[in-house]
Amino acid sequence: AQSVTQLDSHVSVSEGTPVLLRCNYSSSYSPSLFWYVQHPNKGLQLLLKYTSAATLVKGINGFEAEFKKSETSFHLTKPSAHMSDAAEYFCVVSGRSGGGADGLTFGKGTHLIIQP
């Protein structure tokens, strides 16, 4: 079976400071991993994905994530937060070892708050 745990339900940072959103996963196979962002009353937008190529993945809007197999983690980072980054962030694992009927397992989300 596969699972994904977003370690923080809420993260609050000041504008201009670094962002760290934590995600741990478990999977019986080599998974693909994704981060999505959701602004209020909007759909999810793909930020970045890991699919067994480079372990450091760069995404849109200055975000990046590092796949660490030994730690089963896929944390999302950004060097300097912007007010427009305030949103809900979802870590998603996909693979054939389980999850939903389509092979995806969504984390419960981390709400990112940016303080002015």
Partner 1 sequence: DGGITQSPKYLFRKEGQNVTLSCEQNLNHDAMYWYRQDPGQGLRLIYYSQIVNDFQKGDIAEGYSVSREKKESFPLTVTSAQKNPTAFYLCASSPGEYPNYGYTFGSGTRLTVV
- Residues lying near partner 1 in the complex (CB under 8 A) are found at 9, 32, 34, 36, 41-46, 49, 51, 90, 94, 100-109
Which residue, 36 or 74, has its beta carbon nearer to partner 1? 36
The token pair that represents 46 in the structure block: 């793909």
Which residue, 28 or 45, has its beta carbon nearer to partner 1? 45
Q: What distance in Å separates the CA atoms of residue 48 and residue 52, rounded to the nearest whole number?
A: 13
Which residue, 6 or 73, has its beta carbon nearer to partner 1? 6
Which residue, 73 or 105, has its beta carbon nearer to partner 1? 105
- CB of residue 66 vs partner 1: minimum separation in angstroms? 18
Q: Do the beta carbons of residue 44 and residue 60 sit within 8 Å? A: no
- CB of residue 109 vs partner 1: minimum separation in angstroms? 6
Q: What distance in Å separates the CA atoms of residue 107 and residue 2, rounded to the nearest whole number?
A: 11
Phi-psi region of 72 (alpha: psi -120 to 50; beta: other; left: phi over 0): left
- CB of residue 59 vs partner 1: minimum separation in angstroms? 11
- CB of residue 20 vs partner 1: minimum separation in angstroms? 20
Q: Do the beta carbons of residue 74 and residue 47 sit within 8 Å? A: no
Q: What distance in Å separates the CA atoms of residue 111 and residue 5, rounded to the nearest whole number?
A: 14
